[in-house]
Structure 1
Amino acid sequence: MFSTVIMVVQLILALSMLLCFTRALLGPTTFDRIAALDTFGLILVGFIGTIMVSQQSIAYSEVILVIGILAFVGSVAMSKFLERGDLFERR
């Protein structure tokens, strides 16, 4: 029963990753694409988490950490670049 629930959750997460990927490709604005890629990264973290639960191991915990950090830093950097036009302030 538990493995069935995990498989259904993975199927839903895979479908939502597909929808986020299409939004990132077809998004009308750059901000939509940034939001879609950030959401894609967060859903990927959840998907890998469900894989860890189904395998009953913590083998991918570092992968989850790296993907989460990269998604956050990428979103912040792109948002700052689009808002100001540069990433680093020059004095």
Structure 2
Amino acid sequence: MGSNYISDGERQYLEQRKAASEATERWAIAKNLKLVGDPKTYKGVRYQQQQRGSFICLNVPEDSVLQGSFTTALTLHKIIDSLEVNKTLPKLKD
């Protein structure tokens, strides 16, 4: 039968490894959310690509259907066109 005893040195080592692992995970998440390239504008809606390739709108209200990420610029353009046709395009921030 094995023992569950962990020495103070081993406990500290494991805590340091866990903290380092969590820091690396936070860094990777933050890096993947960074915006790349220049912002683009389509019918007044500014958007930019994220590190992982998705697109987010920059100048829309928080309660807009344009919040969130979109897989392609074409998809985003089609949604903007649809909102414009239905006259539900949100008021955009400057």
TM above 0.5:
no
**Normalising by structure 2, what TM-score?**
0.30
Larger RCO of the pair (alpha carbons < 8 Å, separation 6+): 1
Q: Which of the two has higher C-alpha Rg?
A: 2
Q: Which structure has the highest helix share of the two?
A: 1
Normalised to the residue count of structure 1, the TM-score between the two structures is 0.31
